[in-house]
């Protein structure tokens, strides 16, 4: 009896040349592109409509903290790829170690964001209602943070109880790690756009 509960969960479909999980992940990411695309468009419209409010608002953001978080997320993308590559070397231990590093980077990002950015702004009375810039800033970075949390949950699962799948169906497990990696790279790319748009421009 096949290990596949659904068709093409391991082997690629002859038409799409992708297994079902990967195709589903790409379709999901396409919807995410539309979501963040709408938010970036909103940012542009708000900036054009409120040039004064936006002209000095981002000077209250900590560029150093944002740059550190950008660097940390780039590292996490590299370790995510290396974790998937370790599975092709049939090295589950190395994969789990690299997933642990990715998870640590994600947690570091969240802690830095909450403690050194959000909390500092709240302590100084800066909230989404302060002005249009901070309305879109908190919306976009908050939504991105929720995506980070989602990634932490999934990576944590495959690092822990989900890794048992490797013993029964290693190729299926590797595919799931690849899909997780695709999602994580998307989250990182969104931040790479958010950082210059919100902090530097």
Domain CATH code at residue 45: 1.20.120.80
Residue at 49 is within a domain: yes
Residue at 2 is within a domain: no
H helices, E strands: number in the chain: 8, 0
8 Å CB contact between 155 and 77: no
Residue at 6 is within a domain: no
Provide mean pLDDT across the span 24-31. 96
Q: Could you tell me the residue range of the domain that residue 187 belongs to?
A: 20-200
- The pLDDT, as a whole number, for residue 165 is 92
Residue at 4 is within a domain: no
Locate tokens 């980070």: which residue?
Answer: 148
Residue at 29 is within a domain: yes
Residue at 149 is within a domain: yes
Kindly state the percentage of the chain with pLDDT values over 90. Answer: 82
pLDDT tens for residues 51-82?
Answer: 887 888 888 899 999 999 999 999 999 999 99
Residue at 184 is within a domain: yes
- The pLDDT, as a whole number, for residue 5 is 61
Residue at 13 is within a domain: no
153 vs 175: CA distance, rounded Å: 17
pLDDT tens for residues 105-125?
Answer: 999 999 999 999 999 999 999
pTM of the model: 0.92
197 has pLDDT over 70: yes
Q: How many domains does the chain have?
A: 1
């Amino acid at each position: 009896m096949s290990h596949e509960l659904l068709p093409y969960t391991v082997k690629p479909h002859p038409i799409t040349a992708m297994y079902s999980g990967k195709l589903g992940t790409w379709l999901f990411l396409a919807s995410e592109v539309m979501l963040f695309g709408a938010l970036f468009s909103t940012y542009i419209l708000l900036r054009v409509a409120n040039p004064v409010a936006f002209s000095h608002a981002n000077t209250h953001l900590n560029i150093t903290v944002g740059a550190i978080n950008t660097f940390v997320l780039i590292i996490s993308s590299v370790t995510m790829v290396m974790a998937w590559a370790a599975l092709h070397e049939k090295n589950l231990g190395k994969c789990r170690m690299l997933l642990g590093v990715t998870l640590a980077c994600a947690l570091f990002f969240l802690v830095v964001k909450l403690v050194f950015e959000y909390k500092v702004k709240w302590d100084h009375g800066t909230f989404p209602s302060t002005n249009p810039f901070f309305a879109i800033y908190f919306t976009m970075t908050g939504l991105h943070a929720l995506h980070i949390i989602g990634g932490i949950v999934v990576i944590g699962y495959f690092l822990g109880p989900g890794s048992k799948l490797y013993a029964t169906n290693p190729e299926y497990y590797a595919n799931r790690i690849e899909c997780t990696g695709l999602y994580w790279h998307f989250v990182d790319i969104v931040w790479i756009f958010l950082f210059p748009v919100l902090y530097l421009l």
